[in-house]
Every structure is written in structure tokens, then in C-alpha cells.
Amino acid sequence: MAKAVLEPREGGRWFEIGDDGSECDWGRVLSWEPHARVVLDWQITGAWQFDQKLHTTVEVRFIPEGAQTRVELEHRDLERFGEKAAEIVVAQSGSGAWSALLAGFGVEATR
């Protein structure tokens, strides 16, 4: 993955662009509330492939704390991964998962 892209509006795409320029959908933007929260439809399976029939929810909240902002991420509906649910939890908890994506967002947000 070269870049993650989130179109800033309800109904917008959420996808990655590969090093070769290819695109892979991740889901859609369900709710867009600038400076407060974004809710996303995550449609990547336990085999790490897009599936338009799979729907799990990712909510990212931005909480003001003085001059800084705390970011909270919650990925819900993980039981929809079936037998892969536990494996997905472990994979998404790793250093290259949500934490890396949020760190990249932090860099972009402070530019």
C-alpha cells in the first residue's frame, strides 16, 4: 500500500492505492462529522479481500483535550468475520494496522 484515501463526505469511498497505482476498495463513509467523528463501513474479509456483502463498522472519534486532540478508534461487528474474527482482532491490533493508519493520518492532519 502506498496510500490510504478517504473521500471526505457521506457516501464517499474509502480505499487504498497500491505502489503500482492499483486501487482496492475498503468500504464507504457512513457518517462525516468534521472535527467530531467519522463512521466507516469496513468491507475487507478475513482473507483481506473486498466483499460488498460484508459490513463491519469503524468509528473514529476526535475528542478535544486542551490544545490537543485525542483520537479513539472502535471497530465493531467483528463477529461478522465468523471463524476468522479472532485472527482479525490480532492482525488489527498489530503495529502495522490501525495504529499505523492513524499515525499516517496524524502526519497529514498536522501539515
What residue spans define the domains of the chain? 31-109
The Cα 83–Cα 44 span in angstroms is 15
Question: If you search the block for the grid coordinates 476468522, which residue do you land on?
Answer: 84
Q: Is pLDDT of 59 > 80?
A: yes
Q: What percent of the chain has pLDDT over 70?
A: 99
Give the C-alpha distances (Å, rounded to integers) separating 79 from 30, 85, 106.
Answer: 20, 6, 29
Please give the model's pTM, rounded to 2 decimal places: 0.86
Whether 31 shows a pLDDT value over 90: the answer reads yes
Q: What is the per-residue pLDDT across 62-98, written as a single tens digit (0 to 9) for each? A: 999 999 999 999 999 999 999 988 888 888 887 767 8
